[in-house]
Structure 1
């Protein structure tokens, strides 16, 4: 089976280690949560709307979901008190403005030590959490705290988890592994440190190492996989489109009687979305809604993307209404995906809906593929002015159109709108810009010149065709024949009939359109 991602032979053998635990004959089969069709023989085709990898910001948010929290955020804030929380925020804001390690260390020496002596060290852990958006500063803070061990101030498991997570986020896998080893040597190893390193491997695309570490965790007498661990595995397999392995991991969750959480379901949905397995995606979503775990904003955003890519406009619009405010403010990529879905559809008011969504895209949000789609849509709808505006934008942005279907749609609009001069201008610009030049462009010009009895200009198109190595076809001669007949040039028409017979095309009987 061909896969869109390649992994090493050793990594592949590790992936196969994940098996369902055997059932005894008397053990009842648990209810089937997900259908398990075979993975597609070929990866999903990736067109202009294909799912690209998530942005670093999205990956950061996803990765944070994999790290087990030793203390819930609300509990830690309640324990800290307003005064300590204010100092944490103030120090965070000050460090966020600094770049150099020396300056960061100086500020920490002056102002951070009181945070070390709060209840159970919660203030310092909260401080590290507050630096999530500034990973480099967070790493300097971690190094500063690590050095304090020389003064008898020990590190905690929570701090190592944060350090491993930040190292993975800045793509320093060696450092993440070093910190995990260091935590292990100090007997601070826990499920969460395993999960943090597995998350770092996942973030950096190291599926083999992630799976190997999972096998080590299963053999560790002091630790055992948690639902967070399986969430990471499901995410890794989903990203690699190893759907069979992803489903096997989820089956193991059921057999171990671990409770799936919101991240579990979202990762399953994301995996099916990546593989373009729309029925499985929908089935998982419906199962989730029927379970104690209810969809959150991330779930609806995933489903919205899936509905857009699959062209399910009805459900796409229903889901968009649920998360409209979030999407409009924060997710331009999803807006583009919805526009793409409307462009591929044939509904009556698609242009109105497209125009509404286009108004939500910032001026600097130009995308060549989207511009080409809009050109085709406006052409199909005979919106000449809108089409030309998009064409002009494409020329200005040096976007090259290489699809013959788009060029034919453009030509058809000029013909139906009887805009000969605009067509002539467009063809000249397209030739100079290196766009896909097809014979239909020239045939359309000839038909329109002929209909206006501008025969000399019609004949000059033949030279243009020659310059681009387009041979004269049967349609070329038929266009000229009927142009001469309609203009009363019977002698010219007879010459064309002779040429058609010479080339074996026969004698024309019916007019044809371009």
Structure 2
């Protein structure tokens, strides 16, 4: 079977001679990139599903790892982008967690694309950031091709290794890159970023100090400090984070949006809401424009802090700016509405729930929804989420949630519904408490269903719930309300027998 490239490579091959018009290598410093060049800058960073702080290394590539390849004509660049994009789509569609990309790379003529411009490799690795292990496999294949990978490609590969959690591979790539090329800031920053993603605090600091000592690279730049700040913030080492910020200011380098995002994220992680908000206000006063990451960090911070009004303002601001609020932040808002009372919160919760897909179910959110609907007195909604939790084998272990359910049934005098819920909770292994059974006894006694009330005592005995003074008091009140004094006096005797004190007015009646 003959292999066909993803799109026509004829326009690329015709203009290939343009690549060798300029042969002078450019220094690895900040340079302006023409708009028609496939830029080696990285796409904007988006936080991962377990919601870590933003990646300050997402901005250093353009400043520290600018490509040495000459600019391509616009026509050639657009065709190269299209071919690389289609190749990336094919690679990400490969089945399995760690697929072999070699066949797809040949099918889409990746060696030819690389011959047209080394920028094809940079673009492809950038597009595979969401699949770091796949990106590393692509880079392994790319290393056997000509020309030798540039220092920018090594930096991207190191970052991919960090995102994959393979810090040993990151260190090996750093050693290979420095053996082939003279190291630069971008390579050091990439290794620091890899250690940051792996949570290796000491290793990251060691690389930072090695960068300070390396005369070939100059002093650390603002991105180097941003990575350290973010790492200290993730580790809730607020004092170290603030001292690193002071060191950045002492170096004479201006703070960037990455600096403020890392600081805000650090205060958010430490639940220091006042400092988080103060950092945001300081950023605005210094005319540093917030980006999408900043707005989402503030939204999440206000949600965790229970500042509902400010959270809603941050959400409206993000929507107005066209920022996509992802599921992570939708869940944070839902959690805030469930935990903190707010007027009209049920309607707002239901509006947000519409944004969740069928695969976005989380047991903890299900339990919170049960509790909030119980607190709001919405029995139908509460039972709907109880049924969903039972169907998904979610086990409730919080006594407060169980007591909220009890209060809801008691409020509406729904004793049969309560009895059905208790049976289902027992079968599902939910956290049971004596209050469940006391509530059933009270409600049965209220309806003069004394035989069923006595049956609850047998249920408590099976579950090894001892009879307390409150248990006997409930039975006493039930018999008195029915006018059955003989049984009521018997209960008083049982209380004396179990060592519970009895009020004089009870004995005198």
Same fold (TM over 0.5): yes
In structure 2, what is the Cα distance between the partners aligned to 1:122 and 1:226? 25
- Unaligned 5+ residue runs, structure 2? 1-46, 92-98
In structure 2, what is the Cα distance between the partners aligned to 1:62 and 1:347? 35
Alignment pair present for 1:243 and 2:244: no
In structure 1, what is the Cα distance between the partners aligned to 2:252 and 2:227? 17
Of 450, 454, 457, which aligns to 2:449? 454
In structure 1, what is the Cα distance between the partners aligned to 2:138 and 2:495? 83
Aligned pair count reads 451
How big is the shift at 1:399? 1.4
**Which residue is 1:16 aligned to?**
none
SS at match of 1:97: helix
Of 132, 136, 143, which aligns to 1:146? 143
How big is the shift at 1:384? 1.0
- Using the size of structure 2 for normalisation, the TM-score is 0.81
**Which residue is 1:83 aligned to?**
76
* Kept after mapping to 2: 8 A contact 1:176/1:197: yes
User: Which range moves more in the overlay, 501-510 or 404-413?
Assistant: 501-510
Distance 1:370-1:495 versus aligned 2 partners, 3 A rule: same
In structure 2, what is the Cα distance between the partners aligned to 1:442 and 1:156? 71
Of 477, 486, 493, which aligns to 1:482? 477
In structure 1, what is the Cα distance between the partners aligned to 2:428 and 2:321? 39
In structure 2, what is the Cα distance between the partners aligned to 1:470 and 1:147? 71
How big is the shift at 1:504? 3.3
**Which residue is 1:165 aligned to?**
159
* Kept after mapping to 2: 8 A contact 1:161/1:193: yes
* Kept after mapping to 2: 8 A contact 1:135/1:170: yes
Alignment pair present for 1:401 and 2:396: yes
Alignment pair present for 1:190 and 2:201: no
How big is the shift at 1:329? 5.5
Alignment pair present for 1:103 and 2:103: yes
Distance 1:269-1:438 versus aligned 2 partners, 3 A rule: same
How big is the shift at 1:364? 2.5
- Unaligned 5+ residue runs, structure 1? 1-52
In structure 2, what is the Cα distance between the partners aligned to 1:112 and 1:392? 56
SS at match of 1:83: helix
How big is the shift at 1:505? 2.1
**Which residue is 2:205 aligned to?**
211
* Kept after mapping to 1: 8 A contact 2:299/2:315: yes
* Kept after mapping to 2: 8 A contact 1:66/1:195: yes
Distance 1:60-1:94 versus aligned 2 partners, 3 A rule: farther
Alignment pair present for 1:507 and 2:496: no
Distance 1:258-1:369 versus aligned 2 partners, 3 A rule: same
Q: Give a deviation string over 1:137-182, Cα, whole Å, max 9, x none.
A: 5435434443345xxx344322222222223333333332222222
In structure 2, what is the Cα distance between the partners aligned to 1:206 and 1:90? 38
Alignment pair present for 1:322 and 2:302: no
Distance 1:59-1:327 versus aligned 2 partners, 3 A rule: farther
How big is the shift at 1:286? 0.7
* Kept after mapping to 2: 8 A contact 1:415/1:448: yes
* Kept after mapping to 2: 8 A contact 1:156/1:188: no
Alignment pair present for 1:64 and 2:58: yes
**Which residue is 1:412 aligned to?**
407
SS at match of 1:346: coil
Distance 1:463-1:95 versus aligned 2 partners, 3 A rule: closer
How big is the shift at 1:495? 1.6
Alignment pair present for 1:277 and 2:272: yes
How big is the shift at 1:284? 0.6
Distance 1:466-1:146 versus aligned 2 partners, 3 A rule: closer
* Kept after mapping to 2: 8 A contact 1:340/1:370: yes
Distance 1:230-1:187 versus aligned 2 partners, 3 A rule: same
* Kept after mapping to 2: 8 A contact 1:116/1:124: no
Distance 1:145-1:345 versus aligned 2 partners, 3 A rule: closer
Distance 1:225-1:437 versus aligned 2 partners, 3 A rule: same
Alignment pair present for 1:367 and 2:362: yes
TM-align CA RMSD: 2.9
How big is the shift at 1:466? 1.4
**Which residue is 1:472 aligned to?**
467
Of 126, 129, 135, which aligns to 1:129? 126
In structure 1, what is the Cα distance between the partners aligned to 2:110 and 2:177? 26
- Using the size of structure 1 for normalisation, the TM-score is 0.80
Distance 1:123-1:58 versus aligned 2 partners, 3 A rule: farther
